[in-house]
Amino acid sequence: MEIEAEIVYNGARVFERSSDLTSGGVKLLERSQEIKILDAAYKVIAREGYANTSLRQIATEAEVAVSQISYHYENKEGLLLAVVTRVADNYYEYMQKSLRDNMSPREKGNCFIHLYQQVIQNDSELFRVLYDLAGLALWSEPLRAQVREIFRGIMDQITEEVFTEELMKELGYGYSADTLSSLFFGALFGIGLQASLEPENKAIPQSLGALVVLFQ
């Protein structure tokens, strides 16, 4: 299949056909377009919501033809599944930059709290897209499986990093580590939703600090 790609050089739009490129150049061009479309979809969904987003809006944001979206992602639903992966990647990137191996479980718990506060204040797009995806997942089994995997991964990480066997023995709670991790994540998720609905209320993100009672 020959690809005609719209590329912008110094503000001028030109077209390149895959027949004019080397094999490696075609792959690079395709990957570049794929990432460009995914970035655009993430931005438009964060701004408009999935239900109000059309492929044409995404194509306009990405400065590509609508046909290129179909080539890379087949349809809007396929693109949405790719956005789910992007959300997960963004989250894990945040965590990799924040957590350190030499931190104690309590320090890691505080790190989770501070990280969510920063994301709520500085990267609200991530939460808006995540909440939109969670709502859509109620009605789509493929999407539900992916969102559930993200949530399970976050809770597993909280269990492994914060509610360790050593800390659980010290706390002496009559609850399992999985239960406390679920409670901790549920509070983070719920407060994040409140903050998204009331972005002007700066006290909401700060209320996350109260979660330290779970591991004090």
- Reported as a single tens digit per residue, the pLDDT across 147-194 is 999 999 999 999 999 999 999 999 999 999 999 999 999 999 999 999
pTM value is: 0.78
> What is d(CA 163, CA 176) in angstroms, rounded to the nearest whole number?
9
Q: Which of 56, 74, 92 is the last residue of a domain?
A: 74
Dig out the tokens for 72 from the structure: 């890379």
122 and 199 share a domain?
Answer: yes
13 and 116 share a domain?
Answer: no
Q: What is the pLDDT of residue 26?
A: 47
- Predicted confidence band of residue 4 (pLDDT cuts 50, 70, 90): very low
> What is d(CA 83, CA 43) in angstroms, rounded to the nearest whole number?
10
Q: What is the pLDDT of residue 90?
A: 86
Q: What is the pLDDT of residue 170?
A: 93
Position 122 pLDDT exceeds 50:
yes
Domain CATH for 126? 1.10.357.10
Rg of the chain (C-alpha set): 21
Structurally, how many domains does the chain consist of? 2
129 and 208 share a domain?
Answer: yes
9 and 100 share a domain?
Answer: no
Residue 17's alpha-carbon distances to 23, 37, 44, 113, 184, in angstroms, are 12, 18, 28, 49, 52
Q: What is the pLDDT of residue 91?
A: 85
Q: Which of 74, 101, 132 is the last residue of a domain?
A: 74
54 and 11 share a domain?
Answer: yes
Q: What is the pLDDT of residue 75?
A: 86
pLDDT in tens, 64-116: 999 999 888 888 888 998 999 888 888 888 888 888 989 999 999 999 999 99
89 and 166 share a domain?
Answer: yes
Q: What is the pLDDT of residue 9?
A: 31
Secondary structure element (H or E) that encloses residue 163, with its range? none
Position 29 pLDDT exceeds 60:
no
185 and 209 share a domain?
Answer: yes
Contact 143, 84 (CB under 8 A): yes
Q: Which of 31, 54, 74 is the last residue of a domain?
A: 74
- Predicted confidence band of residue 22 (pLDDT cuts 50, 70, 90): low
Domain that holds residue 9: 4-74
pLDDT in tens, 39-59: 999 999 999 999 999 999 999
64 and 150 share a domain?
Answer: no
48 and 110 share a domain?
Answer: no
Domain CATH for 34? 1.10.10.60
188 and 170 share a domain?
Answer: yes
Q: What is the pLDDT of residue 24?
A: 53
